[in-house]
Amino acid sequence: PYSWYKEMRAKSPVYFDQKQGVWNVFLYEDVNRVISDKDVFSSKRFQQSRPFHSIINTDPPEHTRLRSLVSHAFTPKMIAGWEPRIRAIATELLDKVSGQTHMDLVEDFSYPLPVMVIAELLGIPTSDRKQFKEWSDIVVSGPSSTADIQETIDRRDKAIKELMEYFSQIIEEKRKNLKEDMISTLIKAEENEGKLSSEELFGFCITLLIAGNETTTNLISNAVYCFLENQTIWEELKRDPGLIPHAVEETLRYRSPVQAIPRRAKTDAEIGGFHIKPGQIVLAWIGSANRDEQKFTDPDEFQLRRNPNPHLSFGKGIHFCLGAPLARLEAKIALEEFLKRYSSIALKEGYQLDPVNSNLLYGLKSLHIAVS
């Protein structure tokens, strides 16, 4: 999409798509404003009712209440405390393919890692993890072709219903026997912040699956893809693993897992001389903002030591990604363990890159590599 963004920034940085009836903005300053000005641009984007309710689609004051509750489960201290478990999961996954000369990085590593981590964080019993992963896969997967849309929706609704029943049971059990996991933490937080209904708790668990899994998978795969393209980065990181967090930040900017964030105008607004009417949808292209030449020098270069790096890949303002510290930690640990394991990596011969088919997300469906 990057050459399209460049063209749009140059020729038509605020663009109304007649067919979709949607505004598109491409410049850093405009994107920044659309995603952070909550008084003008609402997060209540969907008019249809959904089977679950998510914090991502709320405005204050509802958002303020939900955010204050769930932030108890995402304090930096809590996230840092998960480090040994995340490392154990990463190691376990790499052990499974040890001795192999080829792997599909997505299937073998970057895809299972976030689901296993979230199952662990939520306190899903190990015996239920396989079923949990199956449900998650169905809930987050899109249709493989247009003919499958109805079938996909039916399967998805069924999985959500089953997950809902499963979570109600888990929540009931945890109310009786509080532990250290995230669901227990949320139940404890209710005592101070007021009741969180079981429905809200469930909505939050599903939100974590949807918001946190594919995005983190794509961050890890996109990082390795950047190293494949530019072997000097791989070599630098091998010499100095202390630079891995910089590689994570630059991957976030250079190949942002989320490319666009939608908002709905609440009032009349003006962007770049264009008039946005109340109710209209505005798509803020963070993937383009992250390559805006007015904000970043040499934006089309992956610079390991880029500083500052004010990318917008986790959003901005009151909806700033709650899972950002977790995603950063998962990606750091994943890359550390991966770099420790292998001295060199290359694209598997004959393998054609297989991008995910979505405009809003950016990543790979598979990444076949030769490792040694």
Residues near ligand HEM, by CB under 6 A? 35, 43, 55-56, 67, 118, 207-208, 211-212, 215-216, 219, 257-258, 261, 313-315, 319, 321-323, 326-327
**Minimum CB distance to ligand HEM, residue 191 (Å):** 21
**Minimum CB distance to ligand HEM, residue 241 (Å):** 20
- What's the rounded Cα separation, in Å, for the pair 169 and 259? 36
Residue with smaller CB distance to ligand HEM, 44 or 305? 44
**Minimum CB distance to ligand HEM, residue 43 (Å):** 6
Cis, bond preceding 76 (omega within 30 deg of 0): no
Q: What is the dihedral of CA 104, 109, 114, 116, to 10 degrees?
A: 120
Residue with smaller CB distance to ligand HEM, 257 or 299? 257
Residue with smaller CB distance to ligand HEM, 327 or 371? 327
> Rg (Cα) of the chain, in Å, rounded?
21
Residue with smaller CB distance to ligand HEM, 253 or 371? 253
**Minimum CB distance to ligand HEM, residue 121 (Å):** 7
Residue with smaller CB distance to ligand HEM, 250 or 371? 250
**Minimum CB distance to ligand HEM, residue 219 (Å):** 4
- What's the rounded Cα separation, in Å, for the pair 168 and 174? 10
**Minimum CB distance to ligand HEM, residue 357 (Å):** 18
Residue with smaller CB distance to ligand HEM, 327 or 345? 327
Residue with smaller CB distance to ligand HEM, 22 or 370? 22
Residue with smaller CB distance to ligand HEM, 59 or 354? 59
Ramachandran class of 175: left when φ > 0, alpha when ψ lies in -120 to 50, beta otherwise: alpha
Q: Which two tokens stand for residue 216?
A: 């983190």
**Minimum CB distance to ligand HEM, residue 372 (Å):** 28
Query: CB nearest ligand HEM: which residue?
Result: 323
Beta strands 364-366 and 281-285, pairing class: unpaired
- What's the rounded Cα separation, in Å, for the pair 162 and 280? 35
Beta strands 102-104 and 368-371, pairing class: antiparallel
- What's the rounded Cα separation, in Å, for the pair 42 and 63? 11
**Minimum CB distance to ligand HEM, residue 119 (Å):** 11
Residue with smaller CB distance to ligand HEM, 321 or 371? 321
- What's the rounded Cα separation, in Å, for the pair 115 and 130? 10
Asked if 115 and 221 touch (Cβ cutoff 8 Å), the reply is no
**Minimum CB distance to ligand HEM, residue 327 (Å):** 4
